Amino acid sequence: GARVIDSPLAESSIIGVGIGAALAGLLPICEIQFADFIYPAFNQIVNEAARMYYRSAGDWHVPLVIRVPYGGGVGGGLYHSQSVESLFAHQPGLKVVVPSTPADAKGLIKAALYDPNPVIIFEPKKGYRGIKGDVPEGEIITSIGAARIARSGGDVSVFAYGMMAHYAEQAAEIVAADGIDAEIIDLRTLAPVDRESILASVKKTGKALIVYEDNLTLGYGAEVAALIADDGFEYLDAPVRRLAAPDVPATPYSHPMQDFFMINPEKIAAAIRELAAY
């Protein structure tokens, strides 16, 4: 229909046209087919959409929603499996959200539509077929900036988002058989991050494990670890731990190598056990 435009595969133009439509009073939703292809649009997103409100002293808003499937584990190889969320969470002026449940997928896109400035929704593509859940009827809005306690516990705090939050819940059930009571915090929003929920959980358990499927070095989990070190150090009974992908360019196409690269519930369970025993 007239509301859906099958655009050329030119990511810079997709976002540039979206910015123009937003400035003209529309509420555009731009989709980047895979996160791996977002780089040509980086300038439009970061230098234009993210900075418009600031550079115009609040005179211009860019109510733009950008949907971006991301993540590996689907046999997509180097160019259909990347996790690039940390690049955009670093940019002031952008909000970055990542749903891990069907209900939050609906609630966060609704919240993004009502936000007066740009929001990027990173959608874990393996979750399209791998995550099931109820979706409430009618209008639901998931607050941007609020984490979710996916599972309450008292021994170890696990912070994750997207597919890793889903896997963390499964890992918590695995280690429960060993008598370990893990608390799972689904961050949901990477920028702005819910500092209060992170620190409250660490204060409760004294131990923090951060799980993400991006490369370990300088991934988003490093910021969560720094936050805990800065503002929650006195709560800690153990070092802050991160569990993430190795520092190689992207997910391998070979399935055995993909399995080595990817984080799964068993790897998370092993990391929880190690931290709980510290």
Local confidence pLDDT in tens for the 278 residues of the chain: 678 888 888 999 999 999 999 999 999 999 999 999 999 999 999 999 999 999 999 999 999 999 999 999 999 998 999 999 999 999 999 999 999 999 999 999 999 999 999 999 999 999 999 999 999 999 999 999 999 999 999 999 999 999 999 999 999 999 999 999 999 999 999 999 999 999 999 999 999 999 999 999 999 999 999 999 999 999 999 999 999 999 999 899 999 999 999 999 999 999 999 999 99
CA-CA distance, 138 to 199, in Å (whole number)?
Answer: 33
Task: Please give the pLDDT value at position 1.
Answer: 60
Residue 90 catalytic? no
- The structural domains of the chain, with segments of one domain joined by +, span 11-130, 148-276
CA-CA distance, 231 to 134, in Å (whole number)?
Answer: 36
Q: Which helix (H) or strand (E) holds 122?
A: strand 119-124
Is it true that 11-130 and 148-276 share their CATH fold? yes
Architecture field, domain 148-276: 3-Layer(aba) Sandwich (3.40)
Q: How far is CA 70 from CA 8, 37, 87, in A?
A: 20, 10, 13
Burial class of residue 162 in the structure, from the number of CB atoms within 10 Å of its CB (0-12 exposed, 13-18 middle, 19+ buried) = buried
Supply the CATH classification number for the domain 11-130: 3.40.50.970
Give the strand pairing for 208-215 and 241-245. Answer: parallel
Q: Where are the beta strands (DSSP E) in 177-240?
A: 182-186, 189-191, 208-215
Task: Please give the pLDDT value at position 9.
Answer: 87
Task: Please give the pLDDT value at position 8.
Answer: 84
Residue of 61, 80, 90, 255 marked catalytic:
80
CA-CA distance, 259 to 256, in Å (whole number)?
Answer: 5
Task: Please give the pLDDT value at position 254.
Answer: 93
**In terms of residues, how long is the chain?**
278
Task: Please give the pLDDT value at position 5.
Answer: 83
